[in-house]
Amino acid sequence: MTRRLRRGAIAIAVALVVVVAAAPARAADPTWLLGRWELLRDPDGGAQDSMEFSREGQVARRGGARYTGRYHASDAEVQIDYKVGSQSVITTLTPSSDKRELYARSAVTGKNAVYEKRP
């Protein structure tokens, strides 16, 4: 009898592992990102601009030139793929711990431009 119980328990455990492994992974909830973000400061002296993130995964950058693209957000970073002419420009932003600011690290100087969430 205990052998049957043991086999049954093993079968149930294997079934649970298979079900859990097959479940789709949940994407991070990007609600904190949605809306308009304005450039607060740029140590490299970049022009004033803003970004607007939509629920549909699209982003629009406004400033001197206007660019549109798609984004993917996690709790650790926001990756943006802008289309500039026929080129794809990928930018990675890092949110502050309270998600009220986004940091854009300059590939040239290593300094961070800071964007702030606007109401």
Flag whether pLDDT at 18 surpasses 50.
no
Q: 113 in a domain, yes or no?
A: yes
Mean pLDDT of 5-23: 40
Q: Does 72 reside within a domain?
A: yes
d(CA 75, CA 78): 8
State mean pLDDT over 6-26.
Answer: 39
State the total domains in the chain. 1
Distances (CA, A) of 20 to 9, 11, 29, 43, 72: 16, 14, 21, 47, 25
Write down the pTM of the prediction. 0.73
What is residue 107's predicted lDDT score, i.e. its pLDDT? Answer: 86
Residue 78's nearest CA partner among 33, 25, 108, 26 is: 33
Find the domain containing 110 and state its range.
30-117
Provide the CATH number for the domain around residue 77. Answer: 2.40.128.370
pLDDT tens digits, 63-101: 878 899 999 999 999 999 998 889 999 999 999 999 999
In a domain, 10, yes or no: no
Between residues 25 and 96, the one the model is more confident about: 96
